[in-house]
Amino acid sequence: MATGKYQALHSFYTQFGSNPALQAASERWRQLTTAESDSTHSAIFIELTDRATLFLEQEMPRHGYPGALLDLHQRLFLEMESLIADQAVDDRFRFIVVIPVADRPQHLQSCLDSLYNQCRRFNYGGFTEQKRQMITVLIADDSKDPHARTWIKHIQQQFTRQGLETIYFGQDEQLQMLDGLTSAQRQALTGIIGNYPAKAFHHKGASITRNLSYLKVKQLVCEESPALIWFIDSDQEFRVNTPSRRDGLFAINYFHRLDRIFTTTDTLVLTGKVVGDPPVSPAVMAGNFIQDVSGFVTDIADLGPNHHCHFHQQRITTGGDAAYHDMADLFGFHATREPYRYQCRLHGQHDQLTCFTDFSEQLNRFFDGEHLTRQNFYTNPPVATELIPARTLYTGNYLLSPQALDYFIPFATLKLRMAGPQLGRIMKSELGSRFASANLPLLHKRTQDQIGESEFRAGVDKGQAGIDISGEFERQFFGDMMLFSLQALIESGYPQQRLSDRRIEQILNDTEATLLDRYSRMQKEIMAKLERLDQQIEDRHCWWWQYAVTGDAIENFRRFIANMRCNFGFGSPGYGMIESTQHRQVRRQQILQALRSYSRDRDLWRQTLSQLS
C-alpha cells in the first residue's frame, strides 16, 4: 500500500516506530502498509493517528517542544481530519464556545485570535463552504462602555467573515430573550439571573452573564446534533506555556481530546485548569508575592548593577497547584515557605540595572492578578485523556453536556468570588465521577502587553491616589465564607436534605469566626513582610541609591509598597469591611437567604429550561 496518503503517519513511525511503548501500534502499521488496499481501514488509521499524537504529547516536553515535533503533531491531526471527511458521517460533538466579556475588547481579540489559530492548525470538524463546520462562538457581552460594545461587535463580525461562526449576545439580545419569559418566571429566577432594569443592564457580573448564556445555549442545541458547551474567560487563550516558551504553544488539539473524552466516558461536566497567571484574586496572593519580591531584591543586591543579569540561569521553582495562594493549606495543598525565584523576561545581553528597572515596572500588575514569580506552567503533562474526579470547577474553563445545563452558577446575584469552587462542591456531591478534571489547561493572561494592565477588572479601582482592590477583597472574603460553609453543609446532606435555618446559621457563624482569625493572621504576616521589603529598598548602602538613573525604579517600588499598605494595612478599606459587624451581618443574611432558596431555584430553573426546548 502506498503511504502517500499518510505522509505524517509514515514520518512518525519511521522516527518512533522502534519505541517499545509503540510496539503493538507499530506492528499494526507495518501490516497495513504491506496490504494491497486500505479502503476498509480508515477507522484503524484514525486510531493509529490518535495513538501517535498521544505519544508525541508525552515526547515533546522531554525535548523542549521542538518545532519539528510540533509540526508533525499538527500534520497528523490534519491527516486525521482528511480521513474523517472521507467518511459518510461525522458524528463527533460540535462545540458551542461561550465567552462572557465585560469591557475587554483587546482581551477578547487575543482570545479569538488564538481560537482561530487553533482551528486553522488542527482543523477539527473541517472547513467547507467557507465555514468552520463544528465550532460556534457565543460572545456574552456585559460591557458598560458603548465604545467597548461597538468594538466587541466588530470583533464578532470579523471572525464570522473569516468562517468562524460567532454570535453576539449583548444586552439587547439578552433582554429580548428574557422577554420570552413571563413576568412571574423572571421574578422567580431573580436569584439566578438578577433583576436589572433595561437602562442599566450591564456589569451584572460574570456569574449572571453565564447563567443568561445557559438560556441562550439551550435554544441553540438540538438532540439531532450532539453538542458540548465550553465556557471560557475572555482573558484566556487556546494554547499553553512552558518555562522556556511563555508566549504560548499550540500543543493541544483541545476539540479532538474533548470529543474523545465525552464519547468514551459517561462524563457530564469536565473542568480544565489554567496555566500562566494564577486564577485567584490578588487579595489572597499578597504574602507570597511580597516574599518573592523581597527575595529578588536580596538576590540583585548581591551583585553590582553592571554585572550581567543572572536571573535567566536560575532554576524555575514549580510548586504545583495553589503555590501562589497565601492560604493554600485551607484547600488541602502544601504551603511552601521558601521564596520563588524571578525569571527575567528580557532578551539579549543586559545588566542587572536593566533587569532591576524592568522588574520594578511590572510590580503594580500584581493588582490586576499577575504574579511575576508563581506562574503555572504546562510541564511533564499527564495524558490528556486521563481523568480524575473533580471538586473545583474553573469557571474560565469548563464543559457541560446539555443534560447538565441545570447546574447554573449558584448564588450569582451576590457577586462573590469562588463561584466555581462552590458549584464544584455541589457537582461533586451529586455527580461523583461524572464530574471530572482533565489536563487540558488554557493560557491565562491577566494583563495586556500593550497597556501593561487589565482593560477592566471588577472590584479594582485605579485612581490618582493609588490602586484600591477593596471591592475584590470583600468579595473574596465572603466568597470564602460561602465556600467553606457550603462544604460543611454538604457534609450534612445539603442540598438534597433540607437543613434548618438554625443549623445553617451555626455553620455560617463558625466559618466566619475561623476566616476572620485567618485573615487577621494573614494581614500581620503581610505587613511584617512588607516592612522588611521597605527597609531593603530604603537601605542607602544598596547600589541602586548610587545611580541617578534608578530614581524611577525606586519610585516604582515605593508606589507598590504604598499600594500594598493601602490595601492590606491596618485600617485599610477591605479589612474595614470584613471587620465591620454591621457589614458582616448584611452579608451573612444574604448568604443565608441564598442557601435557603437554592433547592427551590434549582426546581424553577429546570422548569424554565424544559420550556425552552
Burial class (CB in 10 A: 0-12, 13-18, 19+), 229: buried
Q: Do the bridges between strand 269-271 and strand 165-169 make them parallel or antiparallel, or are there none, so unpaired? A: unpaired
DSSP state of 453: B
* pLDDT value, residue 2: 46
| Span of 245-259, 380-394, 502-516 with lowest mean pLDDT | 380-394
Average pLDDT over residues 538-555: 95
- What is the chain's mean pLDDT, rounded? 91
For 520, the grid coordinates are 487577621
* pLDDT value, residue 340: 87
Average pLDDT over residues 584-609: 94
Report percent pLDDT > 90 for the chain: 71
Question: Using CA atoms, how far apart are residues 459 and 448, in angstroms rounded to an integer?
Answer: 18
Q: Report the C-alpha dihedral over residues 182, 185, 190, 192, rounded to 10 degrees.
A: -120
* pLDDT value, residue 223: 65
Distance set, CA 411 to CA 210, 407, 469, 498 (Å) = 12, 12, 22, 17
Average pLDDT over residues 453-464: 70
Could you tell me how many helices (H) and strands (E) the chain has, helices first? 19, 17
Distance set, CA 520 to CA 294, 481, 574 (Å) = 22, 14, 12
How many CA atoms lie within 13 Å of 549's alpha carbon, on the beta-carbon side? 9
Residue 444, pLDDT > 60, answer: yes
Q: Which helix (H) or strand (E) holds 276?
A: strand 274-276
Question: Using CA atoms, how far apart are residues 286 and 530, in angstroms rounded to an integer?
Answer: 9
Average pLDDT over residues 425-434: 96
Residue 412, pLDDT > 90, answer: yes
Domain boundary among 57, 86, 115: 86
Average pLDDT over residues 372-387: 82
Looking at 19-145, list the stretches that DSSP marks H as alpha helix, in order from N- to C-terminal side: 23-33, 42-59, 67-86, 105-122
Please give the backbone phi and psi of residue 480, each rounded to the nearest 5 degrees, phi first.
Answer: -65, -40
State the total domains in the chain. 2
* pLDDT value, residue 339: 86
pLDDT tens for each residue of 268-280: 999 999 998 888 8
Within a domain: 250: no
* pLDDT value, residue 379: 77
CB 408 within 8 A of CB 197: no
Measured at the CA of 384, the angle between CA 382 and CA 389, to 5 degrees, comes to: 85
**Which residues fall within 8 angstroms of residue 260, CB to CB, at 6 or more apart?**
50, 385
* pLDDT value, residue 1: 46
Within a domain: 477: yes
Residue 3, pLDDT > 60, answer: no
Report percent pLDDT > 70 for the chain: 94
Within a domain: 160: no
Which amino acid, residue 304? G
| Span of 5-9, 233-237, 429-433 with lowest mean pLDDT | 5-9
Q: Do the bridges between strand 240-242 and strand 135-141 make them parallel or antiparallel, or are there none, so unpaired? A: unpaired
Residue 469, pLDDT > 60, answer: yes
pLDDT tens for each residue of 334-347: 767 788 889 898 98
pLDDT tens for each residue of 112-139: 999 999 999 999 999 888 899 999 999 9
Question: Using CA atoms, how far apart are residues 448 and 442, in angstroms rounded to an integer?
Answer: 16
Domain boundary among 86, 119, 145: 86
Within a domain: 254: no
Higher pLDDT, 316 or 449: 449
Within a domain: 57: yes
Question: Using CA atoms, how far apart are residues 594 and 482, in angstroms rounded to an integer?
Answer: 10
Within a domain: 207: no
Q: What is the pTM of this model?
A: 0.93
Within a domain: 356: yes
Can you say whether residue 562 is alpha, beta or left, with left for phi > 0 and alpha for psi between -120 and 50 degrees? alpha
| Span of 35-49, 349-363, 395-409 with lowest mean pLDDT | 35-49
Question: Using CA atoms, how far apart are residues 455 and 522, in angstroms rounded to an integer?
Answer: 29
Within a domain: 101: no
Domain that residue 507 falls in: 282-375+457-598
Domain boundary among 86, 104, 124: 86
| Span of 75-84, 316-325, 379-388, 424-433 with lowest mean pLDDT | 316-325
Cα-only R_g, the chain = 26
| Span of 11-25, 117-131, 313-327 with lowest mean pLDDT | 313-327
